[in-house]
């Protein structure tokens, strides 16, 4: 396998593992927990390093996972005191953990290379050089094995507890009455998020974990109302970001993790603009259409009110309309164009006259808005 | 004690302590509004979002002057703010996801740009990444003066618009009915938070900035119900954490300033959560225990009112669980 292929494959695996869980985080409004966990595993890594007396993958992994669980519990405890809001609890716990980690590093391991930069933005670039050995047998890149197993674990978790997760996410009350424990499920989900974060962050760093957990899931959320579709789309967008991010990094000769995070944002931005239902463009167009439609109704009602009155002649002049209804001339033109197109009014010299169809619409509009 | 006197005599320590205290005051004051409006993590998102601004400012000007870079950081943070607002208002994505999206993608973009800059065979870029973790120890007098001016302006705006911000925080609907534009006021308040973040980048760095906004406010909230007092206390706690963190880090050459400030601050927060009069958690435990003994005594054997072995009353049980 070429270096580039290993990097992309690792990226796709990280993206899939993260997106599977990210959908539930986004829907449960716990997106920032992934940020908190990704920062607060630092003291756990340091602790693992201390216990194993050196860099040891398994011990470091366990230490980090424990730190993740401590963070989750602390946030939960702080929230339950009723003194601190959920988001403030997160804002207190994870910087404290990160500061503790940095403190420990500089106090006891000042001479050891435990790079805080690498923790923030990882080293996916070297994915193919760090290999897993059993005895002397080379099993291939270690990151692929770690992320592949995490993908499997997450797939299993979501597959096995799909119904429970879905229920607890959309109707925690009902889940509780049916006998599931939403709290237990919360901790289970957080534990899997925590393990995934730890595993992914050795490969890609803290920030990319957050990006891949939240952004593809949020992107998918803008496109569908169905959970299975959302999960599939999130995995797809994550993979897309991983591959396009790799090429962006090659192009700019920059950090692959940074580029992948950037690409998640680019895809999100595109969907945010152009999603058929939730997109900003669709939304603005809808608003514009409604505005013109409403203005056309106003025009019809205005014409009807003055029909057969003494001032009808002046009130129905095209030139008079824009000043009477306070429309800019171009907007008035659009509205009149719409009314003419739908045969609601007729042009009579410089005046407008209601058609019978238009009169019916005006009456209906009066009744409807009236 | 020696270190304490050095505060007034030692040039480096004085700058570091002054800078940290300034940051503590400004972020303490602004953090009160952020925390009360349940936007505690906004500072975290904005400090991360500021990073690409530093890189872009450098790419555009080629200058490493803090003022130029921090201006870039401020602009990027501000764009991040507007984006978060737009996502929350115009889509069904919730605020925490919007924060996470802006935080991670902006930061990733910043990292991409920083690595791109460092590969341009240009030794001049070294030092841009000090904004990641903050380097309070490198603060010089001119930095502190810049911070003081920025922070002073932010505090002045809070002073002038105190009533408006208070109204916005506690009753935005009422504020709107009085003719204020809550949306614009909100953006202004967030812009001030961006200023606090910009001050913090040099001192505590991107990651720890979240705590500088949340910590003092949460601690201060424990001691009072009045917003005015809360703001004053938060400024005091922020400054105390800043100065003590600076002193601790200087007393031991190996200790970085930012994390020490945050650890001091965390100590203040924990102490306030536990022991503040009235709202302290410790008093709750005592109160609950007394109430239970009282209830059990009055429902003693003679009264004919025995409580079941597992007490079903939620108020008492809740205390046990926590």
**What is the total residue count of chain A?**
370
DSSP for A89-119, written as a single string: HHHHHHHHHHHHHHHHHHHH-TTS---HHHH
Domain containing residue B104: 2-279
d(CA A151, CA A89): 30
Kindly report, residue by residue over A22-45, the tens digit of the pLDDT: 999 999 888 888 888 888 888 888
CATH number of the domain bearing residue A10: 1.10.3470.10
Is the pLDDT at B319 greater than 50? The verdict is no
Is the pLDDT at A168 greater than 80? The verdict is yes
Binning pLDDT at 50, 70 and 90, where does residue B141 land?
Answer: confident
- Is the domain of B164 the same as that of B298? no
d(CA A98, CA B263): 10
Does the distance separating the beta carbons of A210 and B92 come in below 8 Å?
A: no
- Is the domain of A244 the same as that of A292? no
Nearest to A64 by CA among A233, A212, A191: A191
**Total structural domains within chain B:** 2
Is the pLDDT at A354 greater than 90? The verdict is no
d(CA A344, CA A339): 5
> Domain boundary at A277, A296, A321, which?
A277
Ramachandran bin of B48, using left for φ above 0, alpha for ψ from -120 to 50, beta for the remaining angles: alpha
DSSP for A33-87, written as a single string: HHHHHHHHTHHHHHHHHHHHTS--HHHHHHHHHHHHHHHHHHHHHHHHTTSS-HH
d(CA A307, CA B126): 77
Nearest to A213 by CA among A79, A8, A14: A14
- Is the domain of B176 the same as that of B123? yes
- Is the domain of B292 the same as that of B164? no
- Is the domain of A166 the same as that of A307? no
B267 and A CB contact within 8 Å? no
- Is the domain of B294 the same as that of B254? no
Q: Which residues of B232-266 are buried (b: 16+ CB within 10 A; e: fewer)?
A: bbbbbbbbbbbbbbbbbbbeeeebbbbbbbbbbbb
- Is the domain of A261 the same as that of A364? no
DSSP for A134-198, written as a single string: ETTEEEEEHHHHHHHHHHHHHHHHHHHTHHHHHHHHH-HHHHHHTT--HHHHHHHHHHHHHHHHH
d(CA B49, CA A269): 15
Cα A68 from chain centroid?
22
Does the distance separating the beta carbons of A39 and B207 come in below 8 Å?
A: yes
Q: Where are the beta strands (DSSP E) in chain B?
A: none
- Is the domain of B171 the same as that of B304? no
Kindly report, residue by residue over B247-304, the tens digit of the pLDDT: 888 887 778 888 899 999 999 999 999 988 888 888 888 888 888 888 777 765 555 5
Instruction: Count how many pairs of residues, chain A against chain B, have C-beta atoms within 8 Å.
Output: 211
- Is the domain of B304 the same as that of B192? no
Q: For residue B314, what pLDDT is reported?
A: 47
Kindly report, residue by residue over B211-229, the tens digit of the pLDDT: 999 999 999 999 999 999 9
Is the pLDDT at A325 greater than 90? The verdict is no
d(CA A336, CA B123): 64
- Is the domain of A165 the same as that of A314? no
Residue carrying structure tokens 């400004």: B26
Summary mean pLDDT of chain A: 84
The B residues from 104 to 133 touching A (CB cutoff 8 Å) are: 104-116, 119, 129, 132-133
DSSP for B131-144, written as a single string: HHH--GGG--HHHH
The model's pTM is 0.85
Least confident of A212-226, B34-48, B137-151: B137-151
Ramachandran bin of A255, using left for φ above 0, alpha for ψ from -120 to 50, beta for the remaining angles: beta
Binning pLDDT at 50, 70 and 90, where does residue A179 land?
Answer: confident
d(CA A30, CA A182): 14
- Is the domain of B238 the same as that of B265? yes
- Is the domain of B127 the same as that of B270? yes
Does the distance separating the beta carbons of A84 and B111 come in below 8 Å?
A: no
Nearest to A186 by CA among A165, A203, A202: A165
- Is the domain of A91 the same as that of A220? yes
Helix axes A227-252, A206-221, angle to 10 degrees: 130
More confident residue, A183 or A140: A183
Does the distance separating the beta carbons of B41 and A90 come in below 8 Å?
A: yes
- Is the domain of B57 the same as that of B199? yes
- Is the domain of A150 the same as that of A116? yes
B225 and A CB contact within 8 Å? no
Domain containing residue A208: 3-277
d(CA A179, CA A166): 14
Q: Which residues in A lie closer than 8 A to residue B211 (C-beta atoms)?
A: 91-92, 95-96, 99
Does the distance separating the beta carbons of A218 and B97 come in below 8 Å?
A: yes
- Is the domain of B307 the same as that of B238? no
**Total structural domains within chain A:** 2
> Domain boundary at A277, A309, A343, which?
A277
Q: For residue B83, what pLDDT is reported?
A: 93
> Domain boundary at A242, A277, A312, which?
A277
Instruction: Report the complex ipTM.
Output: 0.85
Binning pLDDT at 50, 70 and 90, where does residue B310 land?
Answer: low
Does the distance separating the beta carbons of A102 and B105 come in below 8 Å?
A: no
| Residues in a beta bridge with A351 | A317, A348
- Is the domain of B214 the same as that of B271? yes
Is the pLDDT at A254 greater than 50? The verdict is yes
Does the distance separating the beta carbons of B39 and A87 come in below 8 Å?
A: yes
Kindly report, residue by residue over A83-130, the tens digit of the pLDDT: 888 888 999 999 999 889 888 888 777 666 555 556 666 667 666 667
Summary mean pLDDT of chain B: 84
d(CA B104, CA B10): 39
- Is the domain of A123 the same as that of A271? yes
- Is the domain of A190 the same as that of A331? no
- Is the domain of A228 the same as that of A295? no
- Is the domain of B253 the same as that of B313? no
B136 and A CB contact within 8 Å? no
The B residues from 268 to 307 touching A (CB cutoff 8 Å) are: 269, 273, 279, 281
Other C-beta atoms within 10 Å of B304: how many? Answer: 7
| Residues in a beta bridge with A353 | A346
- Is the domain of A222 the same as that of A350? no
- Is the domain of A270 the same as that of A290? no
d(CA A142, CA B95): 36
Q: For residue A121, what pLDDT is reported?
A: 62
Nearest to A115 by CA among B133, B115, B208: B133
CATH number of the domain bearing residue A364: 1.10.10.10
Binning pLDDT at 50, 70 and 90, where does residue B317 land?
Answer: very low
């Amino acid at each position: 396998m070429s270096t580039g292929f290993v990097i992309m494959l690792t990226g796709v695996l990280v993206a899939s593992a993260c997106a599977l869980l990210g959908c539930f985080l986004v829907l449960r409004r716990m997106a920032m927990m992934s940020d908190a966990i990704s920062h607060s595993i630092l003291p756990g890594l340091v602790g693992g390093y201390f216990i194993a007396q050196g860099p040891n993958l398994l011990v470091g992994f366990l230490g980090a996972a424990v730190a993740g669980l401590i963070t989750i519990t602390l946030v939960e405890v702080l929230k339950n005191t009723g003194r601190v809001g959920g988001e403030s609890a997160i804002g207190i716990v994870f910087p404290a953990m990160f500061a503790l980690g940095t403190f420990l590093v500089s106090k006891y391991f000042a001479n050891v290379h435990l790079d805080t930069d690498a923790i923030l933005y990882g080293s996916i670039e070297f994915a193919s050089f760090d290999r897993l050995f059993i005895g002397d047998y080379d099993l291939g890149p270690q990151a692929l094995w770690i992320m592949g197993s995490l993908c499997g674990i997450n797939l299993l978790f979501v597959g096995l507890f799909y119904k429970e997760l879905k229920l607890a996410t959309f109707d925690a009350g009902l889940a509780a009455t049916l006998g599931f424990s939403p709290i237990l499920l919360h901790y289970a989900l957080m534990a899997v998020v925590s393990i995934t974060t730890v595993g992914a962050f050795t490969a890609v760093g803290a920030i990319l974990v957050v990006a891949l957990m939240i952004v593809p899931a949020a992107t998918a959320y803008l496109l569908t109302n169905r959970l299975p579709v959302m999960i599939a789309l999130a995995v797809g967008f994550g993979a897309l970001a991983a591959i396009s991010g790799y090429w962006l990094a090659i192009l700019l000769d920059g950090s692959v993790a940074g580029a992948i995070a950037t690409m998640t944002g680019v895809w999100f931005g595109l969907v945010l603009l152009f999603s058929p239902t939730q997109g900003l463009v669709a939304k603005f167009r809808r608003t514009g259409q409604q505005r013109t439609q409403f203005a056309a109704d106003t025009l019809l009602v205005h014409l009807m009110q003055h029909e057969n009155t003494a001032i009808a002649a002046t009130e129905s002049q095209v030139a008079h309309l824009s000043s009477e209804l306070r429309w800019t001339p171009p907007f008035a033109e659009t509205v009149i164009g719409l009314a003419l197109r739908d045969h609601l009014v007729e042009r009579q010299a410089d005046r407008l006259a209601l058609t019978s169809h238009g009169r019916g619409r005006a009456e209906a509009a009066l009744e409807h808005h009236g | 004690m020696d270190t304490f006197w050095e505060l007034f005599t030692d040039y480096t320590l004085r700058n570091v302590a002054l800078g940290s205290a300034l940051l503590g005051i400004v972020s303490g004051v602004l953090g009160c509004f952020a925390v009360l409006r349940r936007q505690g993590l906004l500072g975290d998102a904005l400090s991360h979002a500021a990073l690409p601004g530093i890189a872009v400012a450098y790419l555009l000007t080629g200058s490493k002057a803090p003022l130029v870079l921090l201006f870039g950081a401020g602009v990027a943070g501000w764009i991040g703010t507007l984006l978060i607002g737009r996502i929350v208002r115009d889509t069904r994505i919730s605020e925490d996801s919007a924060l996470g999206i802006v935080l991670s993608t902006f930061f990733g973009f910043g990292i991409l740009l920083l690595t791109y800059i460092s590969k341009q065979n240009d030794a001049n870029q070294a030092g841009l990444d000090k904004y990641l973790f903050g380097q309070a120890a490198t603060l010089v007098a001119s930095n502190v003066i810049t911070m003081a001016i920025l922070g002073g302006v932010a505090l002045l705006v809070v002073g002038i618009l105190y009533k408006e911000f208070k109204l916005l925080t506690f009753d935005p609907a009422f504020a709107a009915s009085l003719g204020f534009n809550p949306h614009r006021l909100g953006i202004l308040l967030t812009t001030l938070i961006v200023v606090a973040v910009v001050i913090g980048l040099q001192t505590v760095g991107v990651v720890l900035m979240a705590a500088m906004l949340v910590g003092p406010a949460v601690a201060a909230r424990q001691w009072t119900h009045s917003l005015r007092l809360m703001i004053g206390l938060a400024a005091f706690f922020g400054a105390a954490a800043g100065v003590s963190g600076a002193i601790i880090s200087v007393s031991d050459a190996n200790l970085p300033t930012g994390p020490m400030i945050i650890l001091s601050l965390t100590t203040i927060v924990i102490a306030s959560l536990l022991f503040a009069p009235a709202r302290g958690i410790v008093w709750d435990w005592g109160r609950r225990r007394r109430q239970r003994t009282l209830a059990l005594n009055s429902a003693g054997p003679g009264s004919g009112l025995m409580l079941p072995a597992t007490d079903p009353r939620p108020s008492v049980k809740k205390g046990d669980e926590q």
